[in-house]
Amino acid sequence: MPLVWALLLLVYAKRLAALWHEPVWRVPVLVVESDDWGAGPLEQAAALTAIHAVLLRHRDATGQPAKMTLGVILAVVDTATTTASAYQRVVFDDARLAPVLDALRGGIAAGVFVPQLHGMEHYWPPAVLAAAQTDSVVAAWLTGAAWPATEALPSALQSRWTDARVLPSLSLPVAEIDVAAALETATFARIFGQAARVAVPTTFVWNDAVERAWAAHGVRYIVTPGTRHTGRDAAGKPIGDGRVIRNGERSHSGVRYPNGERRNSGIRYLVRDQYFEPALGHDAARGLAALARQTLLGRPALLETHRFNFIGTAAAASLQTLDVMLTEARGAYPGLRFMSTEQIAEAMLQTDTALLETGLRWRLRAGLTRSHTLPRFARLARLSGLALPLWIMQQLSA
Ligand SMILES: [Zn+2]
């Protein structure tokens, strides 16, 4: 083997091994992950009912209806009683929000909606309260019209697990994270009658302390964009260590017990890096292309979307796009499976052989296909001539 091939493989060894270890799906899987629903504008009730009807029109090979996981926000500011010095919240099971909660529960009962924890609020209340002292837009948001949309807050303040009253943002005290995580998981369990097992950090900013606190209250899986951000930089942009996260990967965060024993938090990561936002111009073909790409790579297709697509002026067109995308997905993949994100995670954890490949040949094929997604690897393999033996291996494993 030429030295340059050995060097190339050595440089990429860790990343290639990670691709090799990532579970390989043998069936196409699709779930639409939609964030930001819950305590907020009342027009969500009609939007959820309309989405429910569209999802119910589509069934997979096993008779399961199409699924949308909903990243749920459990509380929002009570604009009528909040003052410059005291924050007050309205929780999702308040009678005033009953139409929204009823619509959401109706979809859960029908098997089309699956609630996931997005956060008590889509922000860290003390940070928003502090920001309102100097920012009149934030002040008006806190004490203005009822049920304000969190999408209207400055982006950095939409991160719950960092204090963005100043930039770069500050870490939150661990004790405050523990109290907040305990309250939000208990509130989720009270409202939905089930523990929150999947969490989606708002704006994908979170850290080890959040993972430990969530894990202590039953959260087992965290949806990630394939990396972790832990704060906001001076310009308000999310920042992290840049580490690449793979599906099913175990978090490094540990829990230390009073007797000194250290155990892993048990948290596992999922990767959601495909986007389906019809209001931003993403059409059915884009959703279908994401499904095709993920299926080729032996990965489940977790399509990220948000409530803003389905309320307001874009709603009707977004629903239509969702409907067309699901119709075309079923047509293109007769073996397609609609699963919740928790079901996807459980299948990977238990290596469900009806859904996942364990044979060497298929794993090798998926590993080689996935290697094309590594930055610069495909180009360097081509330049060095390594691409040819890799291609032959890929053909032989087909
Ligand atoms: Zn969100």
pLDDT digits (tens, 9 = 90+) for 21-52: 899 999 999 999 999 999 999 999 999 999 99
Domain limits of the chain?
27-349
For residue 158, the CA-to-ligand 1 centroid distance in Å is 8
pLDDT digits (tens, 9 = 90+) for 179-209: 999 999 999 999 999 999 999 999 999 999 9
For residue 204, the CA-to-ligand 1 centroid distance in Å is 8
Q: What is the mean pLDDT of residues 384-389?
A: 86
For residue 286, the CA-to-ligand 1 centroid distance in Å is 21
Q: Looking at residue 257, what is its pLDDT?
A: 62
For residue 109, the CA-to-ligand 1 centroid distance in Å is 24
Q: Which CATH number fits domain 27-349: 2.130.10.10, 3.30.499.10, 3.20.20.370, 3.40.50.720?
A: 3.20.20.370
In whole angstroms, give the CA distance from residue 161 to residue 204: 9
For residue 160, the CA-to-ligand 1 centroid distance in Å is 10
For residue 13, the CA-to-ligand 1 centroid distance in Å is 35
Average pLDDT of the chain?
94
Q: Which two tokens stand for residue 75?
A: 């509380």
For residue 60, the CA-to-ligand 1 centroid distance in Å is 28
Is residue 271 within 8 Å of 303, Cβ to Cβ?
A: no
Q: Looking at residue 45, what is its pLDDT?
A: 98
pTM of the entire structure?
0.94
Q: Looking at residue 166, what is its pLDDT?
A: 96
For residue 301, the CA-to-ligand 1 centroid distance in Å is 19
pLDDT digits (tens, 9 = 90+) for 56-82: 999 999 999 999 999 999 999 999 999
Q: Which two tokens stand for residue 17?
A: 């091994």
Q: Looking at residue 171, what is its pLDDT?
A: 97
Closest listed residue to residue 26, CA positions, set 374, 394, 371, 365: 365
Residue 361 in this model has a pLDDT that exceeds 90: no
- Lowest average pLDDT, out of 135-139, 151-155, 248-252, 269-273, goes to 248-252
**Which one has a higher pLDDT value, 14 or 226?**
226
For residue 49, the CA-to-ligand 1 centroid distance in Å is 20
Q: Looking at residue 398, what is its pLDDT?
A: 67
pLDDT digits (tens, 9 = 90+) for 214-265: 999 999 999 999 999 999 999 999 999 899 999 999 998 776 666 766 778 8
Q: What is the mean pLDDT of residues 137-145?
A: 96
In whole angstroms, give the CA distance from residue 393 to residue 398: 9
Q: Looking at residue 396, what is its pLDDT?
A: 80
